[in-house]
């Protein structure tokens, strides 16, 4: 039986999708193709815009968040052309155009953190703002680091959150202390502008660093664009100044965060699900979720065509999610089908995502009849027999996709405001629907 997705409206006019279970045999094999990495696409676009020539990006993600980054770069004066085979970016060498009106970035945390830093090398005053949730997402650590580098920066409401004002100017550079406890994006933002400073930036990470693989991705992007970088683990990053981003062609690899939902489908249905084009050598930290699924009882294969996950008898585990926060809700949903307790640790930074994912995940699991409790820095799930429920997404794409997968096993799963997935995976529901078709 194929899964069937029916789009309805609730009585208050909000949209809702219901996922009907699919009858999957354990010998069943499914393949799915996921879009390009969102994190990689953001970085490739910004680095291309900073280059002094023409760059071509293939397999980049086309989503709401990426649209915000493109729109901002166009306001900066960057030429961006899109066709069916990719995106062409006409780099400005960091010569940003003055932007008098506030730049709106919705709820794209990556966009505002990377682009607010990038504005520091521009001309004049730039103001970045977003929706109501964005105005609750911290950006003060980046503001503090930029000030140390000699940049005039401030949060206009005085609360450490957007709207944020950046005064573009020539930056001398030098030592900068950075706080990575909430996000590695603050440090990535500094790294991206360091080549345009006079003396470079010597970035010292003074507090704990989360989401480290995303910083690895930033450093890798710099090197691919010809930027010299030096580092001492995750404590110190030195990027010399007076460098130029080199133009060229770049291919974005498939997004392992998006693949995680289909690996989760394999884990809970018993089918063998392959995410085409994914591989073990990726710099995306979220790929590590498959090894956590292996520990839970799944079979994991690294094939030439992609990584495959097949479910088995699932048992709870204890897992550190510090380097892969985006897939914590995915694993939490898988844990609902496992026997015993699963504890996800090092997840305090989930509170400052598109929603408070820590509390939201626990609340929606409880609706499904699963015992789940959110602590200050952990999430505990006691697996059992989940039941159907009406899931609130909190306008958070990862909540919608994670709990949507549960509907492949559990009747009566209804996802409210299902189109919030357009933030990162506009065709998610179509892909979920088609993955089990003959």
Active site residues: 326
- Using CA atoms, how far apart are residues 17 and 37, in angstroms rounded to an integer? 25
Instruction: Give the largest CA-CA distance in the chain.
Output: 63
Q: Say how many Å lie between the first and final Cα of the chain, rounded.
A: 10
Tokens (6 digits) for 124: 């004049």
With CA atoms as reference, report the closest residue to 128 among 146, 147, 145, 107. 107
In terms of C-beta density within 10 A (0-12 exposed, 13-18 middle, 19 or more buried), how is residue 7 classed? exposed
SS3 category, 307 = strand
- Using CA atoms, how far apart are residues 176 and 237, in angstroms rounded to an integer? 10
> 196: which residues sit within 8 A by CB, 6+ positions away?
50, 94, 121, 171, 241, 243
Task: Write 389-392 long-range contacts (CB < 8 A, 24+).
Answer: 389/364, 389/413, 389/414, 390/16, 390/414, 390/416, 391/364, 391/367, 391/415, 391/416, 392/360, 392/363, 392/364, 392/416, 392/417
């Amino acid at each position: 039986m194929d899964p069937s997705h029916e789009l309805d409206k609730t009585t208050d006019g909000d949209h809702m999708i219901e996922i009907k279970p699919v009858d999957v045999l354990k010998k069943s094999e499914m393949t799915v193709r996921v879009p390009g990495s969102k994190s990689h696409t953001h970085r490739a676009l910004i680095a291309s815009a900073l280059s002094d020539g023409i760059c071509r990006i293939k397999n980049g993600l086309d989503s709401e968040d990426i649209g915000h980054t493109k729109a901002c770069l166009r306001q900066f004066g960057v030429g961006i052309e899109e066709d069916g085979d990719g995106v062409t970016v006409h780099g400005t060498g960091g010569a940003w155009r003055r932007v008098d009106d506030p730049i709106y970035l919705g709820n794209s945390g990556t966009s505002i953190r990377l682009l607010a830093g990038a504005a520091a090398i521009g001309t004049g005053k730039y103001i970045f703002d977003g929706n109501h949730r964005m105005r609750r997402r911290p950006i003060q650590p980046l503001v503090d680091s930029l000030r140390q580098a000699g940049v005039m920066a401030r949060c206009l409401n005085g609360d450490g959150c957007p709207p944020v004002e950046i005064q573009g100017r020539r930056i001398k550079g030098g030592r900068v202390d950075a706080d990575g406890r909430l996000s590695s994006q603050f440090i990535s933002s500094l790294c991206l502008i360091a080549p345009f400073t006079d003396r470079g930036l010597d970035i010292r990470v003074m507090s704990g660093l989360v989401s480290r693989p995303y910083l690895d991705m930033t450093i890798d992007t710099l090197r691919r664009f010809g930027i010299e970088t030096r580092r001492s683990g995750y404590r110190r990053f030195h990027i010399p100044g007076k460098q130029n981003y080199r133009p060229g062609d770049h291919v974005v690899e498939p997004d392992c965060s998006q693949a995680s939902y289909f690996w989760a489908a394999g884990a809970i249905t018993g089918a063998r699900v392959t995410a085409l084009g994914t591989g073990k050598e990726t710099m995306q930290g979220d790929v590590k979720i498959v090894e956590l699924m292996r520990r839970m009882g799944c079979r994991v294969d690294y094939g030439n065509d992609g990584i495959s996950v097949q479910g088995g008898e699932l048992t709870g585990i204890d897992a550190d999610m510090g380097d892969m926060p985006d897939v914590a809700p995915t694993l939490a949903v898988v844990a609902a089908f496992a026997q015993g307790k699963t504890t996800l640790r090092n997840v305090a930074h989930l509170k400052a995502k598109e929603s408070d994912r820590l509390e939201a995940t626990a609340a929606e699991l409880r609706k499904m009849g699963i015992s789940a409790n959110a602590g200050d820095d952990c999430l505990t799930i006691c697996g059992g027999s989940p039941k159907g429920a009406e899931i609130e997404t909190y306008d958070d794409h990862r909540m919608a996709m994670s709990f949507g997968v549960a509907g492949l096993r559990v009747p009566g799963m209804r996802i409210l405001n299902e189109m919030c997935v357009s933030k990162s995976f506009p065709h998610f529901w179509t892909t979920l629907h088609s993955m089990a078709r003959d």
